[in-house]
Structure 1
Amino acid sequence: MCQRGITSRGFMKRGDFVYHRGFMNRAEKILSTAIQTLPATHREGKLAAYKLLCSIGIFNHDVSTTTDFLDIFLLIISQGFLSGDEDIIYVIISSCKVDFFHRCWPSSALLLPLFTPACCEIGQKPNFVDEKTIPKVEALTLLSRLVCFPNHFEQLDVLTNNEKDFASVLMDRTSLKRMIMRDLIKASQNDVMLESREIALCGLAIFLCEELKHQRTESPIRPFLLFIVECLQGQSKKRTSVAEGEHPADSTVFAADMVRFLASYAPLFISHRDNHSGQLYTLIIDGLISSLRSNIPADIGALMRNNVRIIKSLIFALLDWILHVPTSYLQQQQQMGRDTKNQEASTTAIQRTFSILIDVYRATHSLNDEHKVQDNELTLSQSIKLCCKFAILFLLNEHSHFPLTENESSLITTNVHEGHDWPSPSKQLIVQNEENQNPNQSDELIIHSSNIQLFVIHDDFLVSFVEIPNDKVNELTTDSQQFISRTTVCRTIIRDLCGRYCWDNYAFNISSNSKTITSPFNNPIELSLPTKSTYQIEETTRGITVLEKFESLQPPTIQNQPPNTDILDKLLQYITFHSPELAFYSDRTLNEVSPTPTSISSHDENAIIKMITEQETAEQNYDSSSSEKTEQYIDNTIQPSRHDRFALCRSHITQLGLMMFENRQNIDLLNTTKHNCDQLLRELKNLDSLNCRETHKIAVIYVGYGQEDKPSIFSNTHGSPPYEEFLTHLGWQVELSKHTGFRGGLHPLPNTYSIYYANELVEIMFHVATMIDGSNDEDRLRKKTRHIGNDEVQIIWTEHYHEYDRSTIATAFGDVLIVIHPLPNGLYRIKIDKTSQTTNFGPLFDGAIVDKLILPELVRATAINASRARRTTLNNHCEFYEERHRIINSIIHKHKRETTYEEFLAQSFTPLAAKTLDETPKPNSQIERRDQSSNAVNTTNSNVQIGSQRQRQPTRNFPFLTPNNNNNAPTPITRR
């Protein structure tokens, strides 16, 4: 019936079976006769005939299938389903596997009403029945790969379930969705098999992505989201059978990954009918919070490795949703039952998010486990606490910043360091004096300068204050010359778990030409009030104050406004229009009257009105009696030159409250003395070189028709139009020489391009084989082999008539292959080939069929999850924020200076003088006398301590995260 082709490599793929057309027709007659005539005593032979016929029918033949063969094949398959024999149905489902519907036969869709209920019934059965294996994975795979059919085909001809009449009926898109999704939910709702349940979750995620991208707002999606959210609780509510080699936490982690994938579609939920008043947002966010709360470890025994994976996956899923959900919804008050006083309690989504993150942090804070996460320095409890801390900091830093444009997304932190914008004469002097010495000496002198000081705050933040010349004095000065910018700028550089941030602070002085109104008696400055105001507030039909648009950059004053104008109201409108972040409430502007409190009585209201009236009358009387006002100019004064190069920074530090005695235990100095500068500078540069987001490098390979070896595949400099369109939606094309983000090892050469993508937490550089260039063919092949051969995840776009084999481009890596096969009907078939060590991932699964609109996003998300799944198996893997935490802790441990309060103030006041004094050697005799006197004091009275040398209490790390414990309240420090 078949022969193995081994003679001609160019004719066929290695080791493939070739079914000739004549053999196919004869085999079909023999097998169909056996199926229809074999008696019950030859049941095994009948099942074998079904299995062999299905294998021949779905095989990828080199020749097209004849119409006669296809008619008999589909007829026998339909008769097998209608027979009701479970063994026959099991054989058909397991033999057809995932290859039945992607063959694009003209009449394969006719059997949809027969396949879907059979797969649904198989999904509801246990894993084993009468010692027979149930093909649950194949059944759920067949159902999940049909979710894109309704939107793509719109309508299909299907057979009726009548055995006597094989008439076809036309089923529209809505009916197809209802049939497929109903059976998929029923098949997976009570499924306890891990692998089949994960495939169902992938199918639901693809369906939701399909509906949202096609803007099918009329289709219900709440039941499917509810099912995914319920799977977050699957580890505690259901007993999930775990196969050998799988982690028991994989079910919840997999569901959390699907929820996190759907976060990027959160803006598309706004217009959906099921999201009335943000109900879908509430369902997902509260589901993640509830799952997090149920997985909080109560003791060290519960702090298993799997529990750590669950908590971290849920935290990042929640973080992604909070970053994508509209801010207006996060600030809405929602009723959350009753509190301890039996009163209705209402909170916002952002409040509940911070609350659960703090609760998880506090719960693990008390667990002093010693079990470390593989080779990482962090214990399990420290890993969870650090994840919570990162989520809190990231929300505070980055919320409402995304989505950004293509150029803005590549760099979410700053590249500015302490040496930027340094005075040019100083730099020239440094270069001249240190020309033949250490090339880092210039940076060392900058850190050792008198206008810079480095602090440690809360043992979590490295903060540098640098005072630099202001090059924008003329730009920042107003046209009316009322305010003049100072000649220096206070630059604040902050380093933490999330990255590096820069904050430039400008100080303004009142110009000598500024006109003021003073009274003859040298009273303080007064503003002349207009006569009795006749301004009337305009209101719309809804009772909302009309907000005037101020196109001018000048604020409203008495000089540029007409008489009898309410300048205060105009000014409030001006502030609301130009600085909306200053508005106290999102539902009204600054000039709108606040609603009357419900608790105020009529008596109090009348008293307030009377008081306001009296105040207005007094002001009018005073204004009318003050007729002798004179306008004077401030005398021109020549400000003396200032030699203090740290004054503005010192003023800014003081205004921030960092110099207050109450905050002394939370702030320290870094040791920036000359002998310590070199090591500190190296570690700061090492910290700045670390990535601030999760990074992945993924290969993209194009395989043309008939290409079967590496040289021919890597010789492609471009692909087909569908492939090029796929690349444009996979990411952004960037020029590497101008790219500021993650490059994935690619050299920043001019006129070289690649595909890059980034969001809030992830950066991806795609090593596209058709875009990697070289000086000649040999150099191009070498570069492509070097970059693509080191990638653990590879995306293969193949237009070959055979299946892609991983031995075609054999590499030491390539643990996950995502193979894309374009189909003649406009859909795309996905094949996932992964090593046994890699855990399951989604949203794409082996055998999935998707359309062109959602293909790039699904492939990108699957590649990211595949890379994460591969990294979880590595012993030395460390998250990006954990690596930053390790470096920051190392800098603080090595370079933090423990000083008294007096020394701290002195060094903050004059940085260079303090650094110079620290390097001055002190006489040994003075040190000995001081030691002798201190020993004498201690000997006389051992209970007396010198206040300035008292032992400092530990620094409070994130005080708002520290568990409340009245018994362990810190003792006040009387002096530092």
Structure 2
Amino acid sequence: MTTPPPPTLIPPLLLIAPWLFEATGLPEGFEKGKLLALRLLCWLTVRRHDIPLSFDYLARFYRVLHTGLLGEDQKVINAIVKYCGTKFFASGLPGHTVLLLNFIHGASTIVSSNAIKGMPRVEAVTLLGSLVCFPNVYRELHVLQCTGSEPPTLAPLADVKDLIVDLLLKAGKTDVDGVARCTALSALGIFAYEELTHRIGHPKVLEAIGVLLLSIRHQNHAIAQVAGDMLRLLCDHAAYLSDHTDRVASIVVEVIASTIHNLLPTDDSDVKEENKKLVLSLLFCLADWCMNIPLRALTIPQSEGCSPLLSTLNVLDHILTGKSPLLRPDVLSLLQTLCPTIVLADLEAQPGEIPAKPPHSGHSTGGGKIARSIASFVPPAILQNDRKSGNVKLAARMVLSHLLHQLGHFPMGLGAAQLTSLVTEQDDVPALRDSELSKEVFSAPNIQLFVLNNMAIVSLVEIPAEETSGGAASVGLTTGKAQVRAIVRDLSGKFSWDCLTLYGPQGCRAGSYPPGPVPDPCLHYTTHRGRLLDHMEQQRCQADAAARES
């Protein structure tokens, strides 16, 4: 596709701007015309312009926005926020930051209202979410005050981050619109991630994490899914939270595990179809948090003597066996420990229906590093079928195996390390020259493959031994002429190690070595040992005889 040529005549759209400015000052009887003029002005201004707008035009437009956002006509505020708010601060217009506080004031009137019809709740929350990073970027700003004084006065911006976060927390807990609540949860996750990245230590970070933990228990699975994705995003800072906060990382693990328990059946039956996608997402979120928290913090007993690691293993066992654990952590007390202002009554405010995604939009349960590792050893067709059917038990088995193999071992002390081995059967085998696995592996005489309980594939490969022993354990010893490489594949990845037979000291003619004319160190060692044992036996007999005579 190519860009079409420009038309011969480009109409000057701003030619009608004076009429629109005049229309915004019409009396209340011309409400429809007034709102239409505002909509057209917003559309004309926030679009991309080939020629920069004049300062006179921008000053008049900013005056209209300032007056409308501070007025008492809610329909005017709704129109400005809906058609201008989400694009205004991304347009890069000169001096656009002077209206920062005015737009926050307009969005707060929408978020604080319980009405749904005609209220651009999604646009208002999106506007607040786009401004959550502004205070960290623009530290010294002068904005128009919301006092409504004439003429408008500029003043330094202060405490705006707390104002934005408070509105997002309110929307994330009690907003009556489902999409708006999901947007607020996403903004809270971004806010917490940025604050933890820069180590700012904002006091609202813990409350934002508490709202996300509260939302994963929501009856609306779309809201719970978004909250789970944001929690998985924050697992990058799990080690920092574990070292610098009191029990925050452990509380996150225990609340996620308890939430998964509530979504599981009480018997050995399969998980309900409507719960599978959420359970899969929370499983991978739980695994990522466990892998990022230090092992010492995972094993410290918390509520009722149950450690976060034990809670994780209990929920995995519940999925695999259907046996529910007897002890479960008290979620309400954990959340109130994290943030005293959080109550489970916030879940009672049920939002409206969330529209389904377009049929062609991609969707992923999102397992992060843990989920992506499964793609290295499961065929694509099987993986695709499991994702469609939502095989929760397969995911739980993979997470359990991954924790048992990798917890406390990855990443390695020398820096980056692979989750799984890169060694394959054809490596170091002279008869196999292909760089990738092929069917020749199954007919090779020095390769054997075993399937163990449909849980793992074990390959035993006989390869020539190295001429020079690389490890300190085999220096000065006689080893076999061949070594065996064991390659194990299971749901947690691929692992390999080389096995070598040690016969004795240097020069030993044992095992695969034929006897030689030189004295055999192994034979000398065996003969000397036999003589020593005979001498000790003779001394024992003499001592017994002397004892009998006495």
TM-score range, shorter chain: 0.7 to 0.9
Change (3 A) 1:34 1:269: same
Query: Aligned equivalents of 2:38 and 2:264: distance in 1?
Result: 51
Does the 8 Å contact 1:122/1:187 carry over to 2? no
Q: State the 1:134 CA deviation.
A: 1.2
Question: Quick check: 1:186 aligned with 2:170?
Answer: yes
For the structure 1 residues 178 and 416, does the alpha-carbon distance in structure 2 shift closer, same or farther, using more than 3 Å as the test?
same
The corresponding residue for 1:703 is none
Do residues 72 (structure 1) and 60 (structure 2) align? yes
Match among 18, 21, 38 for residue 50 of structure 1 = 38
> Counterpart of 2:333?
none
Alpha-carbon displacement from aligned partner over 1:758-780 (angstroms, at most 9, x marks no partner): xxxxxxxxxxxxxxxxxxxxxxx
The Cα offsets for residues 238-288 of structure 1, whole Å up to 9 and x where unpaired, read as xx5xxxxxxxx32222222222222233344356xxx424x2212321221
Q: 1:102 is aligned with what amino acid?
A: A
SS at match of 1:500: strand
- Structure 2 residue aligned with 1:336: 303
With over 3 angstroms needed to count, the CA separation of the structure-2 counterparts of 1:157 and 1:377, relative to structure 1, is: closer
- CA deviation string 1:861-911 (max 9, x = no partner): xxxxxxxxxxxxxxxxxxxxxxxxxxxxxxxxxxxxxxxxxxxxxxxxxxx
Structure 1 residues 262 and 350, CA, compared in 2 at 3 Å: closer, same or farther? same
Of residues 481, 494, 504, the one that matches 2:488 is 494
Distance in 2 between residues matched to 1:55 and 1:222, nearest whole Å: 39
1:170 to 156, 181, 186: 156
Q: Which amino acid in 1 is paired with 2:30?
A: H
| Superimposed CA distance per residue, residues 112-167 of structure 1 (whole angstroms, 9 cap, x where no aligned partner) | 22222331331243453xxx421111111111111121111122112222112522
Match of 1:263 among 228, 235, 245: 235
Matches within 5 A, 1:896-907: none
Q: 1:214 to 1:73 in 2, by over 3 A?
A: same
Q: How does 1:673-752 map to 2 (within 5 A)?
A: none
CA shift in 2, pair 1:407/1:520, >3 Å: closer
Q: Give the 5 Å matches for 1:584-603.
A: none
Q: Is the 8 A contact 1:144 1:200 kept in 2?
A: yes
Give the C-alpha shift of residue 41 in structure 1.
2.4
Tell me what 1:31 maps to: 20
Q: Verify the 8 A CA contact 1:226 1:283 in the aligned structure 2.
A: no
CA gap 1:169/1:519 in 2 versus in 1, 3 angstroms: farther
Letter matched to residue 99 of structure 1? K
Corresponding residue number in structure 2 for 1:253: 225
Gap runs ≥5 in structure 1? 1-7, 241-248, 338-345, 366-372, 432-438, 525-976
Structure 1 counterpart of 2:342: none
Q: 2:498: which partner in 1?
A: 504
**In the alignment, what sits opposite 2:466?**
471
- Asked whether the 8 Å contact 1:147–1:180 carries over to 2, the reply is yes
Deviation string 1:804-839 (CA, Å, 9 cap, x unpaired) is: xxxxxxxxxxxxxxxxxxxxxxxxxxxxxxxxxxxx
Tell me, yes or no, if the aligned pair for 1:260 and 1:317 is still in contact at 8 Å. yes
Residues 177/49 of structure 1: CA separation in 2 closer, same or farther (3 Å cut): same
> Counterpart of 2:131 in 1: which secondary structure?
coil
SS in 1 for 2:87: coil
Aligned to 1:462: 457
1:276 correspondence with 2:245: yes
Shift of 1:100: 1.0
Q: Return the match for 1:393 from 379, 398, 401.
A: 401
Task: Quote the Cα distance in structure 1 between the aligned partners of 2:172 and 2:438.
Answer: 62
Q: Find the aligned partners of 1:294 and 1:312 in 2 and give their Cα distance.
A: 14
User: 1:387–1:445: structure 2 CA closer, same or farther, 3 Å change rule?
Assistant: closer
Name 2:282's counterpart in structure 1.
Answer: 314
Give the Cα separation in 1 of the matches to 2:439 and 2:420: 29
The 1:473–1:103 alpha-carbon spacing in structure 2 relative to 1, beyond 3 Å, is: closer
Work out the CA distance in 2 between the residues paired with 1:378 and 1:480: 49
Report how many aligned residue pairs link the two structures. Answer: 456
In the alignment, is the contact (CA less than 8 A) between 2:128 and 2:168 conserved in 1? yes
Kept in 2: contact 1:19–1:61 (CA 8 A): no
SS of the equivalent of 1:501 reads strand
Question: Following the alignment from structure 2 to structure 1, what is the Cα–Cα distance between the partners of residues 218 and 97?
Answer: 34
- Residue 334 to residue 67, structure 1, CA distance change in 2 (3 Å): same
Q: 1:256 to 1:187 in 2, by over 3 A?
A: closer
Shift of residue 103 of structure 1? Answer: 2.2
Q: Deviations over 1:303-344 (max 9, x none)?
A: 44321101111101111111222233223x12213xxxxxxx
Report if the CA contact (8 A) 2:456-2:489 is conserved: yes
Q: Which has the higher strand share?
A: 1
Paired with 1:19 and 1:98, the residues of 2 have a C-alpha distance of 25
* Counterparts of 1:18 and 1:231, CA distance in 2: 50
More moved, 178-187 vs 491-500:
491-500
- Residue 509 of structure 2 is matched in structure 1 by none
Q: Kindly report the root-mean-square deviation, in angstroms, between the aligned alpha carbons of the 2 structures.
A: 3.9
- Tell me, yes or no, if the aligned pair for 2:186 and 2:226 is still in contact at 8 Å: no
Q: CA offset at residue 441 of structure 1?
A: 8.7
Q: 2-side partners of 1:478 and 1:95: how far apart?
A: 73
Is 1:118 the counterpart of 2:140? The answer is: no
Do 2:186 and 2:227's aligned partners in 1 also have CA atoms closer than 8 Å? no
The reply on whether 1:139 has 2:124 as its aligned counterpart is yes
CA spacing shift, 1:88–1:378, aligned 2, 3 Å: closer
Which of 182, 185, 206 is the aligned partner of 1:222?
A: 206
Q: Distance in 1 between matches of 2:443 and 2:38?
A: 83
Seen in structure 2, the aligned counterparts of structure 1 residues 206 and 472 have a Cα distance that, compared at 3 Å, is farther
1:233 Cα deviation from its structure 2 partner: 0.8
Residue 335 and residue 55 in structure 1: after superposition, are their counterparts in 2 closer, same or farther (change >3 A)? same
User: In 2, distance between residues paired with 1:70 and 1:126?
Assistant: 34
Question: Residue 140 of structure 1 contacts residue 184 of structure 1 at CA under 8 Å; is this kept in 2?
Answer: yes
Counterparts of 1:302 and 1:18 in 2: how far apart (Å)?
64
Structure 2 partner of 1:98: 86
Instruction: Tell me how far apart the structure 2 counterparts of residues 186 and 100 of structure 1 sit (CA, whole Å).
Output: 24
Secondary structure at the counterpart of residue 489 of structure 1 = strand
Quick one: which amino acid aligns to residue 167 of structure 1?
Answer: T
Aligned residues of 2:483 and 2:498 also touching (Cα < 8 A): yes
From 167, 179, 183, the equivalent of 1:195 is 179
| Cα distance, 1:17–1:112 mapped onto 2, change above 3 Å | farther
Match for residue 286 of structure 1?
Answer: 254
Distance across 1 between alignment mates of 2:201 and 2:387: 47
Q: 1:109 to 1:487 in 2, by over 3 A?
A: same
- The separation in 2 between residues aligned to 1:190 and 1:164, in whole angstroms, is 33
Q: Partner amino acid for 1:153?
A: Y
| Shift, 1:171, TM fit | 1.9
| 1:355 maps to 2:276 | no
Distance 1:491 1:87, change over 3 A: same
Contact kept in structure 1, 2:171 and 2:180, CA below 8 Å:
no
CA-CA distance at 1:217 after TM superposition: 3.2
Identity %: 25
Distance 1:377-1:94 versus aligned 2 partners, 3 A rule? closer
User: 1:535-554 alignment to 2 at 5 Å?
Assistant: none
One-letter code aligned to 2:19: I
Summarize the Cα distance change of 1:444–1:30 in structure 2 as closer, same or farther, 3 Å threshold: closer
- Aligned to 1:456, the other structure's residue is in SS state strand
Instruction: For 1:319, give the aligned amino acid.
Output: A
1:424-573 to 2 correspondences below 5 Å: 427=431, 443-447=441-445, 453-472=448-467, 474-476=469-471, 481=476, 483-511=477-505, 512=521, 522=535
Q: Report the 3-state secondary structure (helix = DSSP H, G, I; strand = E; otherwise coil) of the residue aligned with 1:334.
A: coil
Give the Cα separation in 2 of the matches to 1:301 and 1:348: 27
Distance 1:480 1:59, change over 3 A: closer
Q: Which has the higher helix share?
A: 2
